[in-house]
A = this chain, B = another copy of it.
Amino acid sequence: MDINCDMGESYGNFKIGNDAAVFPYITSSNIACGFHGGDPVHIRKTVSMALEYGVRIGAHPGYPDLAGFGRRDMELSETEIEAMLLYQISALQGMTQSLGGSLSYVKPHGAFYNRIARDTEVAKVVFKTMDLLSPSLPLMVLAGSPAETLAREKGRPVIAEAFADRRYEGDGQLMSRKKEGAVIHQAEQAARQVVSLALHHQLTAANGTRLHIQAQSVCIHGDNPQAIEILQAIDERFATEGIQKGYGS
């Protein structure tokens, strides 16, 4: 099972997360591209760290809203979505190549990620745009979302993703961050959710519904204060259960 985390979101003197502590535990890093977070200096440093730790690199483009950290939905035109994606992915791709690496995937950020998950018109624009860059570059999307279905129908590569530290609604959508309990802070509970996803492709929603979720990657949030504890708990559980970490394993 692949373990991914949002990285490189610090901006100048404004620090987010604890990237140096998280890298040893993850197998994929979603690196900010400068719009919702991430200035060039932090992006470059984070790409270097990912290469050093042998962690896969994904571009993590977001809405152009630094003050809102890309977590407020915006009404953008098709042209605006296409251009902001090309710009951000290209920036990360070139910086990664300049350090001897290459992009393994793209994972949209925050409100943009949620919009793609539920709005297939926007998902279509995103797939079309990614084809301009590389038809073989996979998009990471919410496992079980209409966007995943659409990609599978079109034969477009995607990585289906579930969340270690977020609660789900009964319909399989992520619970909004505005609701109490949206983020899981107990390490053991998050680790159990990941093991259940890895072994049984199942997860219990906030309302008790048993969801079937086929995920290839699991996300932990780096700005969750319990991130390291959760990652350690996952490692222990994976060792006990004999689950391999890493993409495609």
Contacts and interface: CB of A to CB of B under 8 A. Distances in A.
Nearest to A34: B87
Interface string A10-35: 11111110000000000000000010
Contacts of A80: 40-41
A112 to B, nearest CB: 13
Interface in A60-94: 64-69, 71-76, 79-80, 82-84, 86-94
Contacts of A239: none
Nearest to A134: B98
A71 B75 CA distance: 10
A133 to B, nearest CB: 5
A11 B41 CA distance: 19
Interface string A109-145: 0000000000000000000000011000000000000
A40 to B, nearest CB: 4
A69 B223 contact: no
Given A13-B71, A75-B73, A91 B98 contact: no
B83 A72 contact: no
Contacts of A95: 83, 86-87, 90
18 contacts: A11-B14, A13-B37, A13-B68, A14-B15, A14-B37, A34-B87, A40-B84, A40-B86, A41-B79, A41-B83, A44-B87, A65-B74, A72-B76, A73-B74, A74-B75, A86-B94, A90-B90, A90-B98
Interface of A: 10-16, 34, 37, 39-41, 43-44, 64-69, 71-76, 79-80, 82-84, 86-95, 97-99, 132-133, 223
